[in-house]
Amino acid sequence: MSSPESPGMEGDLAIVAHDLRGSLSVARGHARLLLEGLRGPLTEEQRRSIEAIERQTERLDRLLGKIEQGEIVAPVLAEASVPRAEHFPERPRILVADDDPELLDLLAELLGERYEVAVADCGQKALELLREGSFELAIVDLGLPDVDGFELAEKIATTAEAPPAFMFLSAQTSPNAKVKGLHLGAADYVTKPFDSNELLARIARIIATIERERSLRADALTDPLTGLANYRSLAQALHRELERAKRYDLPLSLMTIDVDNLKRINDEGGHSAGDEAILTVARILKSGVRKFETVARQGGDELAIVLPNTTAEEAMHLADRLRHEVSQATVRGKPLSISVGVASREKGDDATDVRALAERSDEALYRAKRAGRNRVAGPDR
């Protein structure tokens, strides 16, 4: 038999501590649902909650019985006394990964009123869900049976385009585990058993922080007048889409657009008239393209559109349609028009880089303006 200090006994203690904390969390959570009347009068749901509490209580009794019989030594009792943790148009998405089905049910119900919740009972399923969809937060148990929480966080951080914030949920109370979790970038580390109200408060704080950071990033990448992507965002989109086009050998097109005679509009109607002209063109361009196509204002009277998986012929056709739609609009009784330059990266072209594509688009725009404005110019005209 292993001594209390042996690795075997430590492993047993860790497993039991994990079970104790998970059971206590479920019992506390269901009690909260009943006491606060979140399930209304006595119903089938309420009956299930009571049954769950009874099952978990029996489980605790069995574990405590092992302690009393000397099968598990006293240090587990010290481990079980854990300090409590301290204290947003779409609902934020949260993934919960834990191998305790009743804990998953509890967290899905606790969080379901405020958030869109997906659950996973193993690390591999959590990994698949995180790779398939976008989540603001992942609540991950360190003791998953196949891929532990630390490994899961590392994999997502290195493979996902926009990894979620992580909250580790664990029976491990050792400082080393917490330090490792925070070192991996975890937004929080919560030990079992947890208080449901405190857990909800911690999650709300993380989600609020994510929303603030997202808003700041959006402001940094958005043109304040039109709400379109700004020059910085355009550059990022163009680099990203050109890399994707080369990787999968897809066409890519870029439009550079000038609002014709904007200086004259400003001189005759003031800057408010100029702003109105830019806003009108921006609205027409934005409504005329697909959601995944980036419409940006580069500054002044110049705009641009990045068109993934679009050939030169298709881009020219779209540019002419947009030009026609703008020509039907007016600002303060005066007609509007745009000039458009189109450049493309066709299949099999590995030589074109971002600078070359932008330069070719600019050159085409200048040809359109020199030819009299209110027209489209591209590789062949």
Residue 144 has pLDDT above 90, yes or no: no
Average pLDDT over residues 93-101: 90
Flag whether pLDDT at 8 surpasses 80: no
- Tell me the mean pLDDT in the region 1-18: 50
Query: Can 93-215 and 231-377 be said to share one CATH topology?
Result: no
Pick the CATH number of 231-377 from 3.40.50.720, 3.30.565.10, 3.30.70.270, 1.10.3720.10: 3.30.70.270
What is the model's pLDDT at position 82?
32
Strand partners, 252: 308, 345
Expressed in angstroms, the distance from the first to the final Cα of the chain is 87
Per domain, the residue ranges of the chain are 7-80, 93-215, 231-377
* E-only strand ranges, the chain: 93-97, 116-120, 137-141, 165-170, 188-191, 252-259, 294-299, 302-308, 330-331, 334-335, 338-345, 376-377
pLDDT reported for residue 282: 94
CB atoms within 10 A of CB 14: 16
**pLDDT of res. 124:** 86
Looking at the predicted structure, is the pLDDT value of residue 70 above 60? no
pTM of the model: 0.53
* Mean predicted confidence (pLDDT) in 246-261: 94
What average pLDDT does the segment 357-370 reach?
Answer: 94
Q: What is the pLDDT of residue 128?
A: 85
Asked if the bond preceding 41 is cis, omega within 30° of 0, the reply is no
Architecture of the 93-215 domain: 3-Layer(aba) Sandwich (3.40)
> pLDDT tens digits for 183-232?
888 888 888 888 888 999 999 999 998 888 878 777 788 888 898 989 98
Helical spans, DSSP H, in 42-100? 44-68, 75-80
